[in-house]
Amino acid sequence: MNKTTQPIFVFLISALLLTSCRFELPKPIGDLLNSTKVEIPEVIQQVVEEPSQQIIESPQIVTLTDPQALQNAYNSIFDQVSPSVVHIQVTSKGQTLQQQFPDLPFSMPDSGQPELRQVQSSGSGFIWNEQGMIITNNHVIDGAENILVEFSDGLRVEAKTIGTDPASDLAVIQVDVNKSYLRPVTLTDSTQVRTGDIAIAIGNPFGLQSTMTVGIVSALGRSLPLEAQSSDGAVYSIPDVIQTDAPINPGNSGGVLVNLGGQVMGVTSAIESTSGANAGIGFVIPSIIVNKVVPSLISTGSYDHPWIGISGGTLRSEIAAEMDLPTTQRGALVNEVIKDSPADLAGLVGSDKTIKINQSEVNIGGDIIVAIDDTQVNDFEDLVAYLARYTDVGQTVKLTVLRDGKEKSIDLTLASRGQHTQLAGTPWIGVQIMDLNPDLAKAAGVDKDLKGVLIVQITSDSPAEEAGLQGSYKAVEIGGKSYVVGGDILTAIDKKKVETAQEVTELISKLQVGDEITLTLLRDGEEIKLPLTVGAKP
Helices and strands, number each (H, E), in the chain: 11, 36
Query: For the packed helices 287-300 and 380-390, what is the interaxial angle rounded to 10 degrees?
Result: 40
Determine which helix (DSSP H) or strand (DSSP E) holds 317, and give its type and residue range.
helix 317-322
Say how far apart CA 319 and CA 326 lie, in whole Å: 10
Catalytic machinery residues = 139, 169, 253
Question: Which amino acid would we find at residue 156?
Answer: R
Contact 152, 177 (CB under 8 A): no
Using an 8 Å Cβ cutoff, are 349 and 368 in contact?
no
Polymer length of the chain? 538
CB 241 within 8 A of CB 66: no
- Report yes or no: 136 and 290 within 8 Å, Cβ to Cβ: no
Half-sphere exposure of 434 (CA within 13 A, CB side): 20
- From CA 359, how far away is CA 518, in angstroms rounded? 29
DSSP, residue by residue, 96-156: -SS-B-TTSSSB--SSSS--EEEEEEEEEEEE-STT-EEEE-HHHHTT-SEEEEE-TTS-E
206 phi-psi bin (left φ>0, alpha ψ -120 to 50, beta other): left
Q: Which helix (H) or strand (E) holds 162?
A: strand 156-165
Is there a contact between 101 and 201 (Cβ–Cβ < 8 Å)? no
